[in-house]
Amino acid sequence: MSNNPLPKIDYSHPPNILLVGNGINRAFGTGKWGDLLNEISCNSFDGKQEENIEKLALPLQAILLTGDNVDEGVELLAGELIKDKSNDPEQTAIISELLKLPFDAVLTTNYTYEIERSINPEFNCELKKSCRYRKNTIKSRGMDDRLGIYRYMSLQNGGESLNVWHIHGEIGRPSSVVLGHYYYGEMVACIRNYLPTLARRYNGQRQSGTYIPQSWIDYFMLGNIYIVGLGLDPAEMDLWWLINCKKHFAGRLGHGSIHWFEPNLHKDANFAKRVLAETNGIESHTEKVGKGSFKEYYRHIAGDIERCMHDDIV
């Protein structure tokens, strides 16, 4: 893969970034964490044991269920997930509506390619093979390369290029998947090592009026983030750490905001997470959604974000 420079970011206008989690997939009956973990489990437990295991953070559950053989489990999982090459038409319509909004980049914690297929139904990446959509900004080594912090998918969306970053890895490259606790720690280390470089480059290019990003981390730190379908589970320690960094670096790295669109944050079970988000400068947007109403919730989410974008500009 050759190096591919990303579009420049204007210092006076934070880029608009969409961060998509697993919520839309779950609304259509796919991508449930429990199902994924069961797919890679090499152990069996009774009901009470399963309930106890479910109290663990998800990355730790992965370690326990695979007998600390997460890599082998991910290989098996990727072999199954890569076979799915189609979206539910209604799911595609929801994602397509989101992508009509003026986003400069899309980040996703999902390993699968439903976003890419919503842009291009012919999209295809085979397991452990080169893919014409896959690009990188710079060549790197070690864990930076394995986790792909400089790697993205580039597609044409309505005549314009749109880049999709799988920030927790993609099934076409099983080694990039962040699942077990070990790789979450390695991701935090990669982010920690990258931030000083980002700060130096950002300040060094300021006089030119535009900044050339190199990683999804740039977009997260510098942009207005609109989060959809991501519950921000406490286990997502890399994202929570980066959210905290975004707040602390705000004076030196722009003034981008975070908007979190998540149903049912009013519930008592979500109190601590909601307040933690507010403490970290996240603006929450929520509404009551019943068990059978999540599809309807996501049908109008693009309109909610568009209004929020307009308010940010005003």
153 and 43: one domain? no
Phi, psi of 198 (to 5 degrees): -60, -45
Alpha helices in 82-153 (DSSP H): 89-99, 114-119, 142-147
Residue at 124 is within a domain:
yes
Give me the residue label for tokens 């720690």. Answer: 185
Domain match, 59 and 93 both: no
135 and 164 part of one domain: yes
Q: Are residues 159 and 258 in the same domain?
A: yes
pLDDT higher at 169 or 84: 169
Residue 115's closest CA among 27, 19, 37, 179?
A: 19
- How far apart CA 113 and CA 123 sit, in angstroms, is 8
Task: Taking residues 189-205, report their average pLDDT.
Answer: 95
Tally the domains of the chain. Answer: 2
| pLDDT score of 313 | 64
Same domain, 39 and 23: no
Read off the tokens for 216.
């999804």
Q: What is the mean pLDDT of the chain?
A: 92
Domain assignment present for residue 168? The answer is: yes
Taking phi first (over 0 means left), then psi (-120 to 50 degrees means alpha), and beta for anything else, what does residue 67 get? Answer: left
Per-residue confidence (pLDDT) for residue 15, from 0 to 100: 96
- Domain limits at 70? 33-81
Q: Does 74 share its domain with 17?
A: no
**pLDDT over 80 (residue 43):** no
Q: What is the pLDDT of residue 312?
A: 67
Q: With the C-alpha atoms ordered 272, 273, 279, 284, is the resulting torsion angle positive or negative?
A: negative
Q: Which of 148, 167, 174 minimizes the C-alpha distance to 79?
A: 174
55 in a domain, yes or no?
A: yes
Instruction: Kindly list the distances between the CA atom of residue 164 and the CA atoms of 6, 99, 234, 244, in Å, as whole numbers in the listed order.
Output: 12, 11, 24, 23
Model pLDDT, residue 47: 80
The domain boundary, picked from 51, 81, 111, lies at 81
pLDDT of residue 314 exceeding 60, the answer is no
Tens digits of residue pLDDT in 28-39: 988 677 777 888
Answer yes or no: do 183 and 114 share one domain.
Answer: yes
pTM of the model: 0.95
Q: How far apart are CA 222 and CA 19, in angstroms?
A: 14
pLDDT range class, residue 1, cuts 50, 70, 90: very low
pLDDT at 2 over 70: no
In a domain, 3, yes or no: no
98-121, pLDDT tens digit by residue?
999 999 999 999 999 999 999 999
Q: Are residues 196 and 72 in the same domain?
A: no
Check whether residue 151 and residue 121 sit in a common domain. yes
Tell me: do 166 and 24 sit in the same domain.
yes
- Run of H or E residues at 76: helix 70-81
Residue 1 included in any domain: no
Question: What span, in angstroms and rounded, lies between the C-alpha atoms of 48 and 76?
Answer: 27
| Residues 55 and 164 both lie in one domain | no
- Let me know whether 53 and 110 are in one domain: no
Q: What is the pLDDT of residue 159?
A: 85
- pLDDT tens-digit series, residues 52-71: 988 888 889 889 888 899 99
